[in-house]
Amino acid sequence: MQLGNVGTAMVTPFSPDGMIDYAQTTSLLEHLIANGTDSVIVSGTTGESPTLTVTEKKELLDFVIKVVNKRIPVIAGTGTNNTAESIELTKAAERSGADGIMLVTPYYNKPDQKGMYAHFSKIANVTTLPVLLYNIPSRSIVNLLPETVIALSKIDNIKAIKEASGNLEQMAEIIEGTADDFEVYSGDDGLTLPLLAIGGRGIISVSSHIVGNEMQEMIQAFQNGKIKEAADLHRSLLPVFGALFSKPNPVPVKYALEKAGVPTGGVRLPLVEMDEKEAMIIDEALEKFEKRTRIL
């Protein structure tokens, strides 16, 4: 699965009336491609997928694929807590020419491990596209356990996992128990370097909207054996990561994009915008980061 070092879980730009803003989507994609993004994930958590209709997801994916024009891989977030709907979205993604799909652990229903295995395997079996699993217990409540991931990895087109459990021991168990060509990506920006250190592949990031080049630099430094340089960058980035998750995602990153001259509009309810005091956290973190990187 060609995700590269840094995949960006793309925000969905909205116009003032709350509809998808396709002009701003074009600008955002050009910004991401120019600033460290190796692949882009459409309609994931950061893209506010729970508030997007099936039609919106299909139309947005078609548009992104057209704009990207094969410059980087486009991965479609087709996972939901409804297996039949996930299959519908997956088939649509394949027809659209997506390079892969991302399937999140089913939320709210609270399936057990057998249920999750059945859900993921059934979707994988209706497509030839490579599959990126997505484990995020903080949002879905259920945790896709290593033994289930290892079993799913034996299905030919299940190629990788975005691990956002925050549990490095769990990630290590997955790496140890899967084939060398199965890739483990961090779903937490702050765990990118620690995951690389235990054999992970890279990051599916939110912060890459803002610091994508610096994240690329950190990963490449590690890959080239420049461990101190990678560690210095990691420490300098941690406050930025913290600030960009100081409120529910993607509220802070959309604010930061606006400040960076890449407007993507507001968020859909039930998410709400930050107030001035909350926005100051983002401003201060980015200012300190800029000062520190000049020193580094």
Q: Which domains does the chain have, with CATH numbers?
A: 6-226 (3.20.20.70)
β-strand partners of 203: 6, 186
Specify whether the CB–CB gap between 193 and 234 falls below 8 A: yes
- Tokens at 88, concatenated: 């519908």
Instruction: For residue 229, name the pLDDT band (cuts at 50, 70, 90).
Output: very high
Q: What is the pLDDT of residues 164-190, one digit of tens each?
A: 999 999 999 999 999 999 999 999 999
Q: What is the pLDDT of residues 11-33, one digit of tens each?
A: 999 999 999 999 999 999 999 99
Q: Would you say 11 and 257 are in contact if contact means Cβ atoms under 8 Å apart?
A: yes
DSSP at 45: T
Does residue 294 register a pLDDT over 70? no
Share of the chain above pLDDT 70, in %: 99
Do 207 and 233 form a contact (C-beta atoms < 8 A)? no
Identify which of 197, 189, 242 has the alpha carbon closest to the alpha carbon of residue 216: 189
- Distance CA(9)–CA(172), nearest Å, equals 23
Contact 26, 67 (CB under 8 A): yes
Summarize the confidence of residues 208-224 as an average pLDDT: 98
**Confidence bin at 69 (pLDDT 50/70/90):** very high
Non-local (6+) Cβ contacts of 206 within 8 A are 8, 9, 46, 189, 244, 245, 249, 250, 253
Q: What is the average pLDDT value for the chain, to the nearest integer?
A: 97
Please give the pLDDT value at position 290.
87
* CA–centroid distance for 18 within its chain: 22
Least confident of 217-226, 253-262, 263-272, 282-291: 282-291
Give me the pLDDT at residue 291, please. 81
Q: Is residue 70 among the annotated active site residues? A: no
Q: What is the pLDDT of residue 31?
A: 98
Asked if the model's pLDDT at residue 55 lies above 60, the reply is yes
**3-class state of residue 169 by DSSP:** helix
- Residue 155 gets which letter from DSSP? S
Dihedral sign (CA 79, 82, 84, 88): negative
Q: Is the peptide bond before 250 cis (omega within 30 degrees of 0)?
A: yes
> Of 187, 167, 186, 291, whose CA–CA distance to 239 is shortest?
291
- Residue of 58, 159, 162, 247 marked catalytic: 162
Catalytic residue among 107, 134, 185, 255: 134
pLDDT category, 296, cuts 50, 70, 90? low
Give the dihedral sign, CA 80/85/91/94.
negative
CA-CA distance, 220 to 70, in Å (whole number)? 23
Q: What is the pLDDT of residue 42?
A: 98
In the block, which residue shows the tokens 């001035």? 276
Cα angle at 73 between 71 and 76, to 5 degrees? 135
Whole-number Å distance between alpha carbons of 182 and 193: 18
Q: Residue 295 has what pLDDT?
A: 53
Q: Tell me what pLDDT residue 65 has.
A: 98
Is residue 277 annotated as part of the catalytic site, yes or no?
Answer: no
Per-residue pLDDT reduced to its tens digit, 103-114: 999 999 999 999
- The answer to whether residues 75 and 183 touch, using CB atoms and an 8 Å cutoff, is no
Alpha carbons 185 and 201: distance in angstroms, whole number: 6
